[in-house]
Amino acid sequence: MSDVCRLRDKGIGRRMYLSHFELKQEPFGSSPDPAFFWMSEKHARAFKTLKDGILERDGCVMLTGDIGTGKTLLIKRLVQMDDVAVVFVTADDPGLSRVDFCNALAAEFGLNRRFTRREDFYESFTDFLLAGFSAYRKVVVIIDEAHRLNPDILREAAALSNLKTAGRKLLKIIFVGQLEFNQMLMAAEARDVLQHITTHCRLEPLTEDETRSYVEHRLKVAGRTTPLFSPDAIREIHALSRGYPRLINIVGDHALVYGYSFNLNAIDGRVVRDCSRDLTVALDLDDGSPADGQGSSMGETVEARSPEPISSPRRSWRPFLYMAAAVAVAGLAFYVIMR
């Protein structure tokens, strides 16, 4: 591991690059943050489809996408709608029984009771919804990690969408899962669940143009007023991340730490290629080269740009640059502490 990578892991470089790059906060945080929410055209279409599915249609709603495509952030924005009560349920144990699932739901809604029979749960749950949630336009239950559930639990969850009284359906169910959830529902043992789903959205990775807009948006929210990443840096970020927002954040954050460590004022493609050598595990790269482009959930090939060769003089000086950067950052940290 390089000295720059060690500095990043200790958090020293990340804290100090903010003022260096005229940032007020980290633009590429690892946790989904609604403050940085940005919608591409495909995300905007998905958002509208999901919203219509919740407010206008009967049946369950389904959102799928590969890891890191932005499902969590989209759902967090979606549930901010007025007059909608939302409960998140993560019942991801494949061995969960139907009664266990009912009790998990009861716990999330705060029923303060444990049930031994499903029939008792449904009777109490219906009364509870009518008494406590009648003022809401919709009560939404979001079932996360749906791809990990067994067919019995999926059927139980889908059946919740049929709860009604006086002709009014009481719940809207949203299944959120990874791409394999699509295949699960096509299997014979779960195909009846598919009949309950009337709205289906699938999030795709970002294009190169969308990646540029995504990076620029996050930098602007973080306080940057002038361009920071060059066009060739964006190309390299897109190639390495394959358009997955979570991986874009990893590359972007590491590039800023790397650029700060070498006292750079801008990030170009060479900086991104250089720092990517510390990210082979995080980005699922082989020997530091970008993946083969099979990460697209549409089955399309995303062009993977191989790192350009670095001249021998630069390579021979790199250990000294690492050492100089480490000493400079350590000295600055000591100075700040001793003040």
CB 146 within 8 A of CB 175: yes
Residue 34 pLDDT greater than 60, yes or no: yes
Residue 221 pLDDT greater than 90, yes or no: yes
Three-state SS letters, 280-338? CCCCCCECCECCCCCCCCCCCCCCCCCCCCCCHHHHHHHHHHHHHHHHHHHHHHHHHHH
How confident is residue 13, by pLDDT bands cut at 50, 70 and 90?
A: low
Can you tell me the mean pLDDT for 118-147? 88
Share of the chain above pLDDT 70, in %: 78
Instruction: Give the angle subtended at the CA of 88 by the CAs of 86 and 93, to the nearest 5°.
Output: 155
Query: What's the CA gap between 336 and 183, in Å, rounded?
Result: 55
Residue 141 has what pLDDT?
92
The alpha-helical segments, DSSP class H, found in the chain are 3-10, 12-20, 41-55, 71-78, 98-109, 118-132, 151-160, 180-186, 191-194, 208-221, 231-241, 245-261, 269-275, 312-338
Residue 269 pLDDT greater than 70, yes or no: yes
How confident is residue 213, by pLDDT bands cut at 50, 70 and 90?
A: very high
Can you tell me the mean pLDDT for 135-159? 89
Q: Regarding predicted confidence, which is higher, 63 or 39?
A: 63
User: What integer best gives the mean pLDDT of the chain?
Assistant: 79
* Amino acid in the structure at residue 123: E
Highest mean pLDDT among 6-20, 73-87, 287-301, 312-326: 73-87
User: 24 to each of 28, 251, 262, how far by Cα in Å?
Assistant: 12, 19, 20
Q: What is the pLDDT of residues 155-197, one digit of tens each?
A: 999 988 888 876 778 889 999 999 999 989 988 888 889 889 9
- What are 4's two structure tokens? 């720059």
Can you tell me the mean pLDDT for 139-146? 91
How confident is residue 291, by pLDDT bands cut at 50, 70 and 90?
A: very low
Residue 15 has what pLDDT?
67
Can you tell me the mean pLDDT for 222-248? 95
Question: What is this structure's pTM?
Answer: 0.73
Residue 170 has what pLDDT?
81
Q: Regarding predicted confidence, which is higher, 21 or 189?
A: 21
Q: What is the pLDDT of residues 51-103, one digit of tens each?
A: 999 888 888 999 999 988 989 888 888 888 878 888 898 877 888 899 999 99
Residue 12 has what pLDDT?
54
User: 276 to each of 66, 222, 320, how far by Cα in Å?
Assistant: 22, 23, 19
Share of the chain above pLDDT 90, in %: 42
Instruction: Give the angle subtended at the CA of 45 by the CAs of 40 and 51, to the nearest 5°.
Output: 125
Residue 300 pLDDT greater than 80, yes or no: no
Which DSSP state fits 111? -
Residue 303 has what pLDDT?
30
Residue 316 has what pLDDT?
34
Highest mean pLDDT among 12-21, 186-195, 274-283, 305-314: 186-195
